[in-house]
Structure 1
Amino acid sequence: MSETHARRYSKGAMLFHWAIAILVIMNWQIAERAGSLEMPLKAEVFGYHKAWGMVILALTLGRLMWRFTHRVPPLPADLARWEAALARTVHTIFYVLLIGLPLGGWLANSLGGRTIDVFGLFTIPALPVGENSDLAGQIFDAHALGGSIFIALIGLHILGALKHTFFDRNGGIFRMLPFGKVPS
C-alpha cells in the first residue's frame, strides 16, 4: 500500500461518505421545502423526507460496519491538539445525528400512529409505543433542532476541510477523494 493511499480513506468509506452527505443535504432541503406547502402535498413531500431518512439510517449502519472492519487513516500530523479534538468530536456527533435523527423521526411517527412508506416498496411499521400526539410533537421539534445543529456542523466540517486543503495544505478534502495530493 502506498504512503499516500495509507493516508486516504478507503474507496468504500469514500462511497459511504459522499452518498450519505448528498442524501443528508437533499433530505434537509426536502424538509425545508415541505414546511411551506399545503396539505395534502405537504404530507406527500414529508413522506419522501421520511423514506430518505430511513435510507440514510441504513447507509449509516453500513458505514459503521465498514469503519469497524477497515482501517481509518490517521489525522494529519500537523493538526493542533484542539483541531484533532474538534474533528473527533464533530465526527462522533455526526454519527449520533445520522442514527438519532431517523430513529427520532420514526419514534415520533409511531407516537402519531403512522407507519413509514419507503417509496412504495415496503412499509416500516410503527414502533410498539402507543399513541401520544403531544410527545410526538415534542420529538418532532427536537428532530428539527437536531437537523439544524447537523447542518451547522456540516458547514463547520466543510470549512475545516477547505482550511486544511487550501491553507494548511495537508491534504484535507483529498483524504476523502480518490484523486488529489495528500502530502506526506
Structure 2
Amino acid sequence: MKTANQTRYSIGAMIFHWLIAILVIVNWRIAESAEHLSDAEKGAVFANHKALGMLILALTLGRIAWRLTHPLPSLPNNYAPWERMLARTTHVVFYVLLIGLPLGGWLATSMFDRPIDFFGMFTIPVLPVGENKDLGGTIFDVHKTAGTIMIYLIGLHILGALKHTFIDKDLGIFRMLPFGGKARQ
C-alpha cells in the first residue's frame, strides 16, 4: 500500500524500524562479546542473545503486519532504476534475515535439546525436531555467517541513507525520522 503524497513512513513503522535496528546491533555485539569467554560465561551471554533474538522475531512479525496494513511512502522520483532495485532487494533480504536468523537459532538450539529462557519471564520450548548436535552445530555456523551478512547489509543501508541525504540532497534519511527536513518525493 503506497500513497502518492506521503514522504515519510508512519510513526509505527519508524518505531519498529529503529527498535529492531537497535536490538539487532545490540544482539550482534552480545554474540561478538562472547567469543573469548569461558563456556560457563558464554552460556549466560548466549542466553541473552537467544532471548533477544526471539524478541527481534516477534517485533519483525509485528512490523510485517504493520507494513501490510499501513501505507508506505513511494520511493523518491530521483532514484535511478538500479537504486530502486537495490532498495527493494535490500529490504526483502532484511526481512528474510530478520525472520531466518532467529528461527535458525531456535532450530539449532532445539537440536541441542535446550529451551530458550526469555529473560527469566518464561521459557520458549524446543521445536519438535529431535536432538542432532552435528546438524545443530552446522546451523549455528550458517546462523553466524548470516549474522555477518546482516551487519554488512546494515552498513550498506546506512551508506545509502547518507548518500541520499547528503550527496543527492533529497533528505532521504528523514523518510524514517519523525523530525527534521521534509524528504523529497
TM-score of the superposed pair, with normalisation by structure 1: 0.96
Distance 1:89 1:70 in 2: 20
Distance 1:183 1:131 in 2: 53
How far the C-alpha of 1:4 sits from its partner, in A, is: 10
- Native 8 Å contact 2:60 2:98 kept in 1: yes
- Deviations 1:19-54, CA, capped at 9 Å, x for gaps: 000000000000000121112111000000000000
How far the C-alpha of 1:179 sits from its partner, in A, is: 1.0
> Which residue of the partner structure matches residue 10 of structure 2?
10
Distance 1:139 1:183 in 2: 43
> Which residue of the partner structure matches residue 61 of structure 1?
61
Q: Give the secondary structure class of the aligned counterpart of 1:6.
A: coil
How far the C-alpha of 1:5 sits from its partner, in A, is: 7.4
- Deviations 1:121-159, CA, capped at 9 Å, x for gaps: 000000000000000000000000000000000000000
RMSD, aligned CA: 1.3
What's the % identity of the aligned pairs? 65
Is 1:74 matched with 2:74? yes
> Which residue of the partner structure matches residue 184 of structure 2?
183
Instruction: Summarize the Cα distance change of 1:97–1:81 in structure 2 as closer, same or farther, 3 Å threshold.
Output: same
How far the C-alpha of 1:83 sits from its partner, in A, is: 0.5
- Native 8 Å contact 1:4 1:183 kept in 2: no
- Deviations 1:43-72, CA, capped at 9 Å, x for gaps: 000000000000000000000000000001
> Which residue of the partner structure matches residue 170 of structure 1?
170
- Native 8 Å contact 1:14 1:177 kept in 2: yes
The residue correspondences of 1:74-93 to structure 2 (distance < 5 A) are: 74-93=74-93
The residue correspondences of 1:17-36 to structure 2 (distance < 5 A) are: 17-36=17-36
Q: How many residues align?
A: 182
Distance 1:76 1:134 in 2: 48
TM-score of the superposed pair, with normalisation by structure 2: 0.96
Q: Give the secondary structure class of the aligned counterpart of 2:105.
A: helix
